[in-house]
C-alpha cells in the first residue's frame, strides 16, 4: 500500500479535526510520524482587557480621564481580585531587552482619586514611542490598587475590610509596632487601621506577589494630597519631580515604603500629589514623568544598583 504523504495526512487531520488520531488514521498513515507535542508551544491566552463598563466606572469617578484614554491604557485583568471581587488591573509596557523593571502603583488609598488618574496618564507616556527613555524600562502599572475604596460612594481611604492598605505590609515587628502606632499615635483612627495581621488583605498580597515575581528595581507609589516627594531605600533620592520637592516625613509600620525600601532594599519613591480630587496640569504630570526618568538614568542605571 502506498503511504499517504505527510501533507495529505495533515490535510485529513485538518478536515476531520478532533477525529484525527493515530488510532483513527488509515493504515497507510501509520508510517507518518506524529508531530511531537512538545515542539508546539501552546498559544498564550489572550489578555482579558477592562470592559467598556469597567472603564466607564473609572472615567465617571476619576478626574481628568476620558473614555478614549482609559481604553487606550489597555488595562488587563490580572486575575487577582479585591475584597469585593473587583479585578485588580495591570498594564505592562515592555521594550526589548529592558534594563530596569519599575512598578507604579496608584490609589492604594481609595480616596486619592488623582493618584489613579496620574498613573493612567503615565501609562500613555510610557507607551508613547515619541517620549524618549534614556534606558529601556519594563513598566508595570497597577493604577487602582484599591478599587473598592475608590468606587465607593463616597470614596474611602481604606479597602472594603476597613484596612489602611499602606499599613498592612509585613514590616519586622509588625504585630507590636502597628498596634502601638494605631492605639497610641493615631488613637484608633479608623482611617488608619493596619488590619488584623500583615498581608491580611488581597490587595496587599497582590503587591507582595508582584514584588516577588516581577522583582522591580524601583517602586513608585502615588498618593495625595500632601504635595511632597518621599523616598525610602537605597540610592540617592530624587530632589524633585515637577513641582514636588523631597521631604522625607518618616516611616510607618506596615507601609509600602517601609517594607519595600527599608527592609527589602527596593527603592520606593512616594509621590504625594497636591490635591486628591484634581490632577496636576497635563504639562506638570509630564514634567514629573520626565524628571523621574532623568533621576532613574542617573541613579538606577548601569552600576546604580
Ligand atoms: Zn495615601
Instruction: Encode pLDDT of 78-106 as tens digits.
Output: 999 999 999 999 999 999 999 999 999 99
Task: Determine, yes or no, domain membership for 305.
Answer: no
Residues 35 and 65 both lie in one domain: no
In the reported structure, the alpha carbon of residue 112 is separated from the centroid of ligand 1 by a whole-number distance in angstroms of 6
Answer with the residue of higher pLDDT: 217 or 39: 217
Instruction: Encode pLDDT of 247-268 as tens digits.
Output: 987 889 999 999 999 999 999 9
Which own/partner pairs from 172-181 qualify as long-range (CB within 8 Å, at least 24 positions apart)?
Answer: 172/263, 173/253, 174/198, 174/253, 174/254, 177/253, 177/254, 178/253, 178/254, 180/253, 181/252, 181/253, 181/254
- Minimal CA–CA distance to 288: which of 118, 159, 50? 118
Task: Determine, yes or no, domain membership for 71.
Answer: yes
pLDDT tier, 26 (very low <50, low <70, confident <90, very high otherwise) = very low
**Which range among 21-35, 167-181, 237-251 shows the weakest confidence by mean pLDDT?**
21-35
Tell me how many domains the chain contains. 2
Angle at 49 between CA 78 and CA 94, to 5 degrees: 70
Task: Determine, yes or no, domain membership for 108.
Answer: yes
Residues 31 and 65 both lie in one domain: no
In the reported structure, the alpha carbon of residue 115 is separated from the centroid of ligand 1 by a whole-number distance in angstroms of 9
In the reported structure, the alpha carbon of residue 4 is separated from the centroid of ligand 1 by a whole-number distance in angstroms of 69
Residues 158 and 11 both lie in one domain: no
Helix (H/G/I), strand (E/B), else coil: 28? helix
pLDDT tier, 29 (very low <50, low <70, confident <90, very high otherwise) = very low
Q: Are residues 87 and 80 in contact, defined by beta-carbon separation less than 8 angstroms?
A: yes
Task: Determine, yes or no, domain membership for 240.
Answer: yes
Instruction: Kindly report the average pLDDT of the chain as a whole number.
Output: 88
In the reported structure, the alpha carbon of residue 224 is separated from the centroid of ligand 1 by a whole-number distance in angstroms of 6
Residues 32 and 111 both lie in one domain: no
pLDDT greater than 80 at residue 303: no
DSSP for 247-270, please give it.
------TT-HIIIIIIIS---EEE
- Minimal CA–CA distance to 223: which of 279, 257, 271, 191? 271
In the reported structure, the alpha carbon of residue 19 is separated from the centroid of ligand 1 by a whole-number distance in angstroms of 58
pLDDT of residue 133: 84
Task: Determine, yes or no, domain membership for 198.
Answer: yes
In the reported structure, the alpha carbon of residue 82 is separated from the centroid of ligand 1 by a whole-number distance in angstroms of 18
Range of the domain at 25: 6-39
The CATH number given to whatever domain includes residue 157 is 3.40.630.10
Residues 186 and 245 both lie in one domain: yes
Answer with the residue of higher pLDDT: 75 or 30: 75
In the reported structure, the alpha carbon of residue 118 is separated from the centroid of ligand 1 by a whole-number distance in angstroms of 14
pLDDT of residue 43: 86
pLDDT greater than 60 at residue 27: no
Residues 35 and 58 both lie in one domain: no
pLDDT of residue 1: 40
pLDDT of residue 300: 85
Average pLDDT over residues 33-38: 55
Residues 173 and 280 both lie in one domain: yes
The position carrying cell 530632589 is 239
Residues 31 and 67 both lie in one domain: no
In the reported structure, the alpha carbon of residue 108 is separated from the centroid of ligand 1 by a whole-number distance in angstroms of 7
Task: Determine, yes or no, domain membership for 142.
Answer: yes
In the reported structure, the alpha carbon of residue 223 is separated from the centroid of ligand 1 by a whole-number distance in angstroms of 4
Residues 283 and 245 both lie in one domain: yes
pLDDT tier, 42 (very low <50, low <70, confident <90, very high otherwise) = confident
In the reported structure, the alpha carbon of residue 284 is separated from the centroid of ligand 1 by a whole-number distance in angstroms of 20
**CA distance linking residue 4 with residue 31, whole number of Å:** 8
DSSP for 182-222, please give it.
IIIISTT-GGG---SSTT-SHHHHHHHHHHHHT--SEEEEE
pLDDT of residue 142: 98
In the reported structure, the alpha carbon of residue 5 is separated from the centroid of ligand 1 by a whole-number distance in angstroms of 67
In the reported structure, the alpha carbon of residue 292 is separated from the centroid of ligand 1 by a whole-number distance in angstroms of 19
pLDDT of residue 37: 56
In the reported structure, the alpha carbon of residue 87 is separated from the centroid of ligand 1 by a whole-number distance in angstroms of 21
In the reported structure, the alpha carbon of residue 70 is separated from the centroid of ligand 1 by a whole-number distance in angstroms of 22
Q: Are residues 152 and 109 in contact, defined by beta-carbon separation less than 8 angstroms?
A: no
Helix (H/G/I), strand (E/B), else coil: 95? coil
Q: Are residues 251 and 257 in contact, defined by beta-carbon separation less than 8 angstroms?
A: yes
Task: Determine, yes or no, domain membership for 13.
Answer: yes
Task: Determine, yes or no, domain membership for 46.
Answer: no
In the reported structure, the alpha carbon of residue 164 is separated from the centroid of ligand 1 by a whole-number distance in angstroms of 9
pLDDT of residue 2: 43
pLDDT of residue 91: 98
Helices (H), the chain: 6-16, 52-61, 67-72, 113-127, 147-151, 174-180, 202-213, 256, 282-299
Instruction: Encode pLDDT of 151-198 as tens digits.
Output: 999 999 999 999 999 999 999 999 999 999 999 999 999 999 999 999
**Which range among 29-33, 39-43, 203-207 shows the weakest confidence by mean pLDDT?**
29-33
In the reported structure, the alpha carbon of residue 141 is separated from the centroid of ligand 1 by a whole-number distance in angstroms of 17
pLDDT greater than 90 at residue 289: yes
Q: Are residues 50 and 78 in contact, defined by beta-carbon separation less than 8 angstroms?
A: no
In the reported structure, the alpha carbon of residue 165 is separated from the centroid of ligand 1 by a whole-number distance in angstroms of 9
Residues 180 and 261 both lie in one domain: yes
In the reported structure, the alpha carbon of residue 276 is separated from the centroid of ligand 1 by a whole-number distance in angstroms of 9
Helix (H/G/I), strand (E/B), else coil: 286? helix
Helix (H/G/I), strand (E/B), else coil: 177? helix
Exposed / middle / buried, residue 46 (Cβ in 10 Å: 0-12, 13-18, 19+): exposed
In the reported structure, the alpha carbon of residue 157 is separated from the centroid of ligand 1 by a whole-number distance in angstroms of 7
Q: Are residues 82 and 160 in contact, defined by beta-carbon separation less than 8 angstroms?
A: yes
pLDDT greater than 70 at residue 229: yes
* DSSP letter, residue 106: -
Helix (H/G/I), strand (E/B), else coil: 240? strand
Residues 29 and 77 both lie in one domain: no
In the reported structure, the alpha carbon of residue 225 is separated from the centroid of ligand 1 by a whole-number distance in angstroms of 8
**CA distance linking residue 244 with residue 247, whole number of Å:** 9
pLDDT greater than 80 at residue 305: no
- Residues around ligand 1, an ion, CB closer than 5 A: 109, 112, 223
Residues 15 and 156 both lie in one domain: no
pLDDT tier, 4 (very low <50, low <70, confident <90, very high otherwise) = very low
pLDDT of residue 198: 98
In the reported structure, the alpha carbon of residue 302 is separated from the centroid of ligand 1 by a whole-number distance in angstroms of 32
**Which range among 37-41, 134-138, 221-225 shows the weakest confidence by mean pLDDT?**
37-41
Query: What is the distance, to the nearest Å, from the Cα of residue 95 to the centroid of all Cα atoms in its chain?
Result: 17
pLDDT of residue 8: 37
**CA distance linking residue 74 with residue 92, whole number of Å:** 9
Amino acid at each position: 500500500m502506498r503511504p499517504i504523504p505527510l501533507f495529505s495526512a495533515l490535510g485529513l487531520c485538518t478536515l476531520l479535526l478532533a477525529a484525527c488520531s493515530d488510532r483513527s488514521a488509515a493504515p497507510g498513515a501509520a508510517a507518518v510520524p506524529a508531530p511531537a507535542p512538545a515542539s508546539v508551544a501552546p498559544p498564550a491566552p489572550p489578555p482579558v482587557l477592562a470592559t467598556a463598563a469597567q472603564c466607564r466606572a473609572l472615567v465617571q469617578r476619576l478626574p481628568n480621564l476620558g473614555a478614549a484614554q482609559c481604553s487606550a491604557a489597555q488595562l488587563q485583568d490580572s486575575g487577582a481580585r479585591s475584597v469585593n471581587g473587583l479585578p485588580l488591573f495591570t498594564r505592562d509596557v515592555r521594550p526589548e531587552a529592558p534594563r530596569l523593571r519599575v512598578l507604579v502603583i496608584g490609589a492604594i488609598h481609595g480616596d486619592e482619586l488623582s493618584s489613579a488618574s496620574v498613573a493612567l496618564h503615565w501609562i500613555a507616556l510610557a507607551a508613547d514611542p515619541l517620549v524618549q527613555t534614556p534606558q529601556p524600562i519594563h513598566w508595570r502599572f497597577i493604577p487602582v490598587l484599591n478599587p473598592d475604596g475608590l468606587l465607593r460612594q463616597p470614596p474611602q481611604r481604606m479597602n472594603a475590610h476597613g484596612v489602611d492598605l499602606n499599613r498592612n505590609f509585613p514590616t519586622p515587628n509588625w504585630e507590636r509596632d502597628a498596634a502601638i502606632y494605631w492605639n497610641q499615635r493615631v488613637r484608633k483612627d479608623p482611617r488608619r487601621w493596619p488590619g488584623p495581621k500583615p498581608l491580611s488583605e488581597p490587595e496587599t498580597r497582590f503587591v507582595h506577589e508582584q514584588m516577588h515575581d516581577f522583582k522591580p528595581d524601583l517602586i513608585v507609589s502615588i498618593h495625595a494630597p500632601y504635595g511632597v516627594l518621599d523616598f525610602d531605600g537605597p540610592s540617592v533620592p530624587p530632589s524633585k519631580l515637577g513641582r514636588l520637592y523631597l521631604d522625607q516625613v518618616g516611616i510607618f509600620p506596615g507601609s509600602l515604603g517601609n517594607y519595600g525600601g527599608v527592609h527589602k532594599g527596593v527603592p520606593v519613591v512616594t509621590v504625594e500629589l497636591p490635591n486628591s480630587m484634581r490632577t496636576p496640569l497635563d504639562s506638570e504630570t509630564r514634567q514629573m514623568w520626565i524628571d523621574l526618568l532623568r533621576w532613574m538614568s542617573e541613579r538606577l542605571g548601569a552600576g546604580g544598583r
